[in-house]
Amino acid sequence: MTPTRKFLLAGAALGFLGLTACSSLPSFNFGNSKAKELAEAEKAGRITMVLSDTDLEANPELPTETITLPPPREIDSWPQAGASAAKVVGHIKAAETLSIAWRNGVGKGSSKKSAISTPPVASKTTVFTLDSEQQIVATDLASGNTKWRKKLKGLSKRDKAALGGGLAVDGDTLIVASGFGYVTALDASTGDEKWKNTMSAPMTGAPTIKDDRIFVESNNNEIFALAKDTGEIEWSDQAISETARVLGSPSPAAVEDFVIAPFSSGEVIAYLASNGRRLWTDAISSAGRFTPISEINDIGSHPVLAGGLVFASS
């Protein structure tokens, strides 16, 4: 394993779909045995959590193990999808009994023609949401009162609706990745535009902010690194194009000078954040080769970077 491959891929095949990790592309290896699958995973530097066509079973050696959590910590903001650039939430302190503090409308909900796929983000004072019609609503965190609203517009008169996109807040700036095909920075207090950069395709997921860069992905599986202050594209890279995907808002994960990006092709690619150089590529694909759903290799969730590992699932 090369020194640049600091993070290992822990391919978690989760849920009733029975998905698993594959070691290389393409993923059309019919009839692979579990032994071969294990060998390929080990060669790729991957820790496979669940093999294909394997039922979950309790480990008889674990009931005696003690699980120790670090002390819970209080958080006063949720600035981007996954809470942080590394997408690690940790042990969060909460009240023993949760209750509704306030309630307020934040735009249009999901319908047959459009859907909400973007999670809210919050600074220390404001909650920001993006509804199914690409309208941003800023809500006061303490009172629930609406601070401002802004309807995102298409790039042409024909752009009436859009799906996807996402939000991230950093200080007094709200970064918006729009399903209309651009990334924009807004004043978090007023909604006024600071800068706007038109991209080559609609944005599918929420932006990730790490240091002075913004990382976003488009629906044609291209990742972009933008300068946070100006929106200028510093680098980009094209993964394998794949139109079949699940509706969601996955984001790249970043730590130190590493960026890990998930794509609808099932690829997980590690980059140097500073220049976009590829460090390694792996893939997670469906174990069931002969069902319609097995054609969807999309990684619809954020990778998580913790303990020198990359945790990813499809």
Q: Which domains does the chain have, with CATH numbers?
A: 8-53+76-88+108-313 (2.130.10.10)
Is pLDDT above 60 for 313?
Answer: yes
pLDDT at 216: 95
Residue range 288-299: mean pLDDT, rounded: 56
Q: Which has the closest alpha carbon to 208: 192, 179, 228?
A: 228
Residues 99-139: tens digit of each pLDDT: 999 999 998 877 777 777 788 999 999 999 998 888 999 99
pLDDT at 267: 86
132: which strand partners? none
Q: Tokens representing 217? A: 């992905």
**Percent of the chain at pLDDT exceeding 70:** 74
Whole-model pTM: value is 0.80
Residues 210-267: tens digit of each pLDDT: 999 999 998 888 999 999 999 999 999 998 876 655 566 678 999 999 999 988 877 8
* CA pair distance 212, 228, nearest whole angstrom: 5
Q: Is 119 left (phi over 0), alpha (psi -120 to 50) or beta?
A: beta
* CA pair distance 142, 148, nearest whole angstrom: 15
Of residues 159 and 101, more confidence is placed in 101
pLDDT at 244: 57
* CA pair distance 160, 220, nearest whole angstrom: 20
* CA pair distance 289, 291, nearest whole angstrom: 6
Task: Count CB-CB contacts under 10 A for residue 174.
Answer: 25
User: What is the largest distance, in Å, between two alpha-carbon atoms of the chain?
Assistant: 64
pLDDT at 5: 45
Of residues 27 and 163, more confidence is placed in 163
Residues 294-303: tens digit of each pLDDT: 555 656 778 8
Residues 170-212: tens digit of each pLDDT: 999 999 999 889 999 999 999 999 999 999 888 888 999 999 9
pLDDT at 260: 95
Is pLDDT above 80 for 288?
Answer: no
pLDDT at 43: 53
Of residues 221 and 37, more confidence is placed in 221
Q: Which has the closest alpha carbon to 152: 161, 140, 144?
A: 161
Is pLDDT above 80 for 52?
Answer: no
Of residues 281 and 13, more confidence is placed in 281
pLDDT at 245: 57
216: which strand partners? 224
- Torsion sign across C-alpha atoms 243, 246, 248, 252: negative
